[in-house]
């Protein structure tokens, strides 16, 4: 398989920054080079205004990416920022892929990921790459076993 380069935004909480490096290295080992536009401790934003952060920093980075990866750890579901980032990606019609942190035992996923995610996969490079490319839309637990399909949220037409 030839090398692929993908522009992604990895939605996560900052205590999981180290896991992002592991994720990018996992994908690189299978020929996918990930150009990540997310904010990490290595490239922090020093802004204080949530509206400025959303409109001038995070929004353009999400818009630039072709795909959003949501790094799922136990505290991800409680992050207002992660849910906002997922909703922004959804409004931009981005592919949204949840990836369980390496060694995860399972936890609740962010509400927006449950509603808008295209796939949730375990720590498996081939499945993550397939999901990023839109070739896999399954929902898995951290160990890679199939999860029950999420509930379909129906919205009445106006």
Task: Tell me if 119 sits within 8 A of 138, measured CB to CB.
Answer: yes
What's phi and psi for 23, nearest 5 deg?
A: -65, -45
SS3 10: strand
Residue-by-residue pLDDT tens, the chain, 158 positions: 557 999 999 999 989 999 999 999 999 999 999 999 998 877 767 788 999 999 999 999 999 999 999 999 999 999 999 999 999 999 999 999 999 999 888 789 999 999 999 999 999 999 999 999 999 999 999 988 888 655 444 334 33
Is this prediction's pTM over 0.85? Answer: yes
127: tokens are 């499945």
Helices (H), 4-137: 17-28, 50-52, 59-64, 80-91, 111-116, 125-132
| Beta-bridge mates of residue 62 | none
pLDDT of residue 132: 96
Q: What is the C-alpha radius of gyration for the chain, rounded to an integer number of angstroms?
A: 15
Place of tokens 């369980």: 100
């Amino acid at each position: 398989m030839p090398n692929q380069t993908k522009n992604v935004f990895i939605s996560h909480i900052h205590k999981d920054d180290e896991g992002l490096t592991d994720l990018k290295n996992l994908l690189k080992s299978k020929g996918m080079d990930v150009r990540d536009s997310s904010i990490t401790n290595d490239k922090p934003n020093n802004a204080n205004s949530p509206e400025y952060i959303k409109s001038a920093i995070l929004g353009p980075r999400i818009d630039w990416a072709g795909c959003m990866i949501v790094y799922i750890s136990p505290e991800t579901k409680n992050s207002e920022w992660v849910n906002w980032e997922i909703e922004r990606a959804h409004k931009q019609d981005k592919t949204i892929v949840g990836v369980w942190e390496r060694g995860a035992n399972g936890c609740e996923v962010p509400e927006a990921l449950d509603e808008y995610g295209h796939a949730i996969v375990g720590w498996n490079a081939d499945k993550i790459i397939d999901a990023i490319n839109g070739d896999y839309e399954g929902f898995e637990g951290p160990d890679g076993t199939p999860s029950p399909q999420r509930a379909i949220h129906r919205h009445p037409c106006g």
